[in-house]
Amino acid sequence: MSIATDAGPLAGGLLLPEHPRGVVAFAHGSGSSRHSPRNRHVADVLVREDLATLLVDLLTEAEGRRDEMTGELRFDIPLIGERTGAVVDELERDARRRRDRVARPSARARRDAAHRGRGR
């Protein structure tokens, strides 16, 4: 799954069980990624329990490389909040395309994500 942002795409992997009853998003900033063996293992366990999982990096590839050198983005809370909102929005669009209810975030979750993004 690719999530569009102004800075470029965010890379993620969505795992769907046959009959998902919810979704868990693993949102990675810096120091970890969607390729983390531990998080991939947890995602696999959750999928066996009928929970969809999305492992997504909240920094673009270029931003991740820059952050490894400078550390300037890992604590950019407005950026991370904005990206988290973009992930929630994409999960909701994806659920509508599949016509299921897996990723319907609560109004509070959408409001909180939007609020964090506005501080930028």
Residue range 16-33, pLDDT digits in tens: 998 888 888 888 765 666
* pLDDT value of residue 101: 54
* pLDDT value of residue 46: 93
> Average pLDDT in the 35-50 region?
88
Domain 2-118 sits in CATH 2.30.30.30: no
Residue range 54-105, pLDDT digits in tens: 999 899 989 988 988 998 888 898 998 999 999 988 888 887 777 655 545 5
- Show me where the domains of the chain are located: 2-118
Cα separation, 78 vs 117, whole angstroms:
5
* pLDDT value of residue 75: 85
Instruction: Assess whether pLDDT exceeds 90 at residue 48.
Output: yes
* pLDDT value of residue 103: 47
Q: Reading across the β-sheet that carries 52-57, which strands appear in turn?
A: 2-3, 10-15, 52-57, 23-28
> Average pLDDT in the 33-61 region?
88
Confidence of residue 118 (pLDDT cuts 50, 70, 90): low
Contacts of 90 (CB under 8 A, 6+ apart): 1, 3
Alpha-helix runs per DSSP H in the chain: 37-48, 61-70, 77-98, 107-118
Confidence of residue 120 (pLDDT cuts 50, 70, 90): very low
